[in-house]
Chain A
Amino acid sequence: MMNDTARALRRLALEVGYSLRGFFEHFGAGQLFLVRIIVNMPYALARPGLIIKQVYVTGVLSLVVIMLAGFFVGMVLALQGFLTLSRFGAEDTIGMVAALGLVRELGPVVTALLFAGRAGTALSSEIGLMRATDQLSGMEMMAVDPIKRIIVPRFLGGVIAMPILAVIFSAMGIFGAWLEGVIILGVDEGAFWSQMQAQVDLREDVMSGVIKSIFFGIAASLLAVYEGYNCVPTAEGVGRATTRAVVNTSLTVLVLNFMLTAWLLGGK
């Protein structure tokens, strides 16, 4: 009896130990992968055509999703803000509430989450499939480094696309908030914009949002290409790599978001 319990505890400890070790292994391998990408960057920068193609794939093809999401997030912010703030007779401030929420938090974070679902999955499954069908080994045979040729342009494409998508998301969100607040709910248009302009600061709010989305771009692109590149080269492995890319990116973005917010706005 006692023995059984001890054995179960031991197994539990081992499990925890293994998964912790796995986490740190992946964490370290990810950092090394980032270093490899950075070292190989000059080659990719010499061939901007590859990067432009990837900006198109990750950015332009995510545009409709991002714009629609931003629009509806902005509308719901205005609606929720109106319902709460009108109790205090402060519904004029919904422009400010929506703009601050979008520019500081929702713009970068929701964009990064959608990016993980839309572009991150495409990246990791594409690279994973190249791995599974031995295209990456084939390139190595032909003395073409797949890091330079495949990974770096995809990584850079994602890093460039993310801040642009986040800014477009925020702008669309503010448009949605304006439509819902001013046109549908009848908040005064002058108050809507002037409250927003009085309270939203260029450096503290808009720029901190852009800085956040740059970090999210790096994290999301790195995780997507890393999981794809290191996947088990089977059909199942590609699927699992894609899932892991989305889950890990979402969690990383949320944790990173807190740390960046504390860093960027914490002093105030």
Chain B
Amino acid sequence: MQQTRAVELGTGLFVFMGILALFFLTTRVTTFDTYSGEGGYELTARFDQIGTLKTRSPVSISGVQIGRVTAIDFDVERLEAVVTIRIASRYDRIPNDSDASILTSGILGGQYIGLQPGGADEHFQDGDEISFTQSAVVLEQLISKYLFGQAGGGE
């Protein structure tokens, strides 16, 4: 009887440790994701160039992450990239003339969408489109523009 109880106690503690470790992995190691679930609302934005933006890239405003990119598509009619983002529901009073630009975090960092708040009284609703967007800067284009500018200036 004593033996059985030790086994059961040990097994119980073991399973409990496993749950604790899983809890640690989900909360401390990953972002406890409040953006990808059902909550929040979706917006779309059109860009000429999205660079290396990917689904699940962060969307932030003033540097605070408020959502994630959920889908990236290409509109064959208008020849533009269509990016769908989901924003957490507690950030529901973002002026609807805010503009979105694709920025890079750090030198090696990934790209993200930064929102710049506008001044309108109306707020974004689910399914709205962000009208003012600024595309990603592609390094090669930047360099060629610089070289072209130099050549033009010399004449």
Interface residues of A (CB under 8 A from B): 49, 52-53, 55-56, 59-60, 63, 88, 90, 99, 103, 161, 163-165, 167-168, 170-172, 174, 193, 196-198, 200-202, 205-206, 210
The B1-41 residues at the A interface (CB cut-off 8 A) are: 4, 7-8, 10-11, 13-15, 17-18, 20-22, 24-26, 28-33
Residue from B7, B22, B25 with most neighbouring chain A CB atoms (10 Å) = B25
In the docked arrangement, what's the CA distance between A197 and B30, Å?
Answer: 4
Q: With a CB–CB cut-off of 8 A, which chain B residues contact A161?
A: 14
Query: Are the C-beta atoms of A56 and B56 separated by less than 8 Å?
Result: no
Closest Cβ of chain B to A112, distance in Å, is 16
Residues of B within 8 A of A55 (CB): 11, 14-15
Residues of A within 8 Å of B108, CB to CB, are 88, 90
- Are B11 and A170 in contact, with the CB atoms below 8 A? no
Docked-complex contact A201 and B14, CB < 8 angstroms: no
Enumerate 22 A-B pairs (CB-CB under 8 Å) in ascending A order: A49-B4, A52-B11, A55-B11, A55-B14, A56-B7, A90-B108, A164-B18, A165-B18, A167-B18, A167-B21, A168-B21, A170-B21, A171-B21, A171-B24, A174-B24, A174-B25, A174-B29, A196-B29, A197-B29, A198-B58, A202-B30, A202-B33
> Does B30 contact A200, Cβ atoms closer than 8 Å?
yes
Contact of A206 among B11, B20, B26 (CB under 8 A): B26
Bound form: Cα–Cα A103–B28 in Å: 13
- A198:B31 contact, CB within 8 angstroms: yes
Residues in chain B near residue A205, CB distance under 8 A: 30
Q: How far is the CB of A169 from chain B (nearest CB, A)?
A: 8
Q: Are A167 and B22 in contact (CB-based, < 8 A)?
A: yes
- Dominant secondary structure at the B interface: helix
B56 closest partner in A (C-beta)? A201
- In the complex, how many angstroms separate the beta carbon of B114 from the nearest chain A beta carbon? 16
**In the complex, chain A residues whose CB is within 8 Å of the CB of B13:** 60
Contact residues in B for A202 (Cβ distance below 8 Å) = 26, 30-33
Contact indicator B25/A163 (Cβ below 8 Å):
no
Q: How far is the CB of B6 from chain A (nearest CB, A)?
A: 9
Instruction: Kindly list chain A residues whose C-beta atoms are within 8 Å of the C-beta of B26.
Output: 202, 206
Contacts of A210 in B (CB 8 A): 22
The interface residues of chain A lying within 8 Å CB-to-CB of B8 are 52
Q: How far is the CA of A53 from the CA of B4 in the complex (A)?
A: 8
Query: Which listed residue, B18, B28, B31, touches A163 by the CB 8 Å rule?
Result: B18
Contact across chains for A168 and B18 when beta carbons are under 8 A apart: yes
Which listed residue (A53, A168, A197) contacts B7, Cβ 8 A?
Answer: A53
Known A164-B15, A193-B28; further 6 A-B contacts with Cβ < 8 A = A55-B14, A60-B10, A90-B108, A168-B18, A171-B21, A171-B25
Given contacts A164-B15, A171-B25, are A201 and B30 in contact (CB under 8 A)?
A: yes
From B17, B28, B31, B32, contact of A168 by CB (8 A): B17
Q: Which residues of A contact B29 (CB under 8 A)?
A: 99, 103, 174, 196-197, 200, 206
Q: Is A206 a contact of B30 with CB atoms below 8 Å?
A: yes
Give Cα distance in the complex from A170 to B26, angstroms: 12
Min distance, Cβ A154 to any Cβ of chain B, angstroms: 14
The answer to whether B11 touches A60, judged by C-beta atoms less than 8 angstroms apart, is yes
Docked complex Cα distance between A205 and B56 (Å): 14
Which residues of chain A have C-beta atoms less than 8 A from B21's C-beta?
A: 164, 167-168, 170-172
